[in-house]
Amino acid sequence: MKYLTLLFILVIACATPEKPLDADGIITNAIKAHGLNAITNKKIEFDFRDIHYTLLREEGKYTYTRSFQDSLGYVEDILINSTEFTRLVDEEKLEVDSVWTGKYSNSVNSVLYFVELPLRLMDPAAIKTYKGISTVKGKNYHLIEVRFSEEDGGKDFEDVFLYWFDEQTFAMDYLAYSYITEGGGVRFREAFNKSEIGGVVFQDYINYKPEDKLTPLEEMSTLYNDGELVELSRIENVNISVK
């Protein structure tokens, strides 16, 4: 009898089609692949272009900081949940007007946001659409488009992003985005120099641009495949630690 029961279970399992992955399912797998599903209560530190950054996630709260020495003294910018900003100079709070608060907050967030990818793609403001399979350099990727709601998407909510996740490993190897600030444009980033530290995958990026800043975002991977993008800069983090 037990053999018949086992046979019945196997038949049912084989007859039930596997549920296709959607955008959330792909990103969930990518978060695990990058080791970002277990960073709560871990402090991440690194240096980028002579500025020291830290990231700490706790239950319901994440804190970004950057610190550096300048003519004012030792400056520390603290950003909590991407909304609460404080600037300290030699450990004393400095009053900052709303305009500069916005500029400083955006500057801190823009660096640490990319370090936390793809985890931040699960933010409530992120509107994700699965665009199917895309081939880059002969390899298949899940392509996901991300837009943002106006209510919670910040001042750059009109930016549009594309992310390429390895079809097999779910590693996030490429991303591209369009933006409207400072005259607008499009960028394409290639991940390189991947390393695993404290169970978390870190990766640097080569930042590319097209010859024509009005190039549609959807054409960026084709231009990359054809070697028609221009290297603009490299985003390289050093002295990384996870505690």
Q: Is residue 5 part of a domain?
A: no
pLDDT in tens, 80-129: 998 999 999 999 999 999 999 999 999 999 999 999 999 999 999 999 99
In the chain, the number of structural domains is 1
Sheet holding 51-58, edge to edge: 92-94, 84-89, 73-80, 61-70, 51-58, 43-48, 238-242
CB 205 within 8 A of CB 234: yes
DSSP sequence for 80-132:
ETTTEEEEEETTEEE---HHHHHHHHHHHHHHHHHHTTTGGGGSTTEEEEEEE
Q: Is residue 174 part of a domain?
A: yes
Q: What pLDDT, on the 0 to 100 scale, is given for residue 20?
A: 59
Q: Is residue 16 part of a domain?
A: no
Q: What is the span of the domain harbouring residue 84?
A: 21-242
Report the 10 Å Cβ neighbour count for 217: 16
Q: Is residue 184 part of a domain?
A: yes
Q: Is residue 6 part of a domain?
A: no
Q: Is the pTM of this model over 0.85?
A: yes
Q: Is residue 7 part of a domain?
A: no
Q: What pLDDT, on the 0 to 100 scale, is given for residue 18?
A: 52
Q: What pLDDT, on the 0 to 100 scale, is given for residue 153?
A: 56
| pLDDT less than 70: residues of the chain | 1-20, 152-156
Q: Is residue 14 part of a domain?
A: no
Q: What pLDDT, on the 0 to 100 scale, is given for residue 208?
A: 98
Q: Is residue 48 part of a domain?
A: yes
Query: Residue 68: which CATH number?
Result: 2.50.20
Alpha-helical (H) ranges within the chain are 2-15, 23-33, 98-115, 220-225
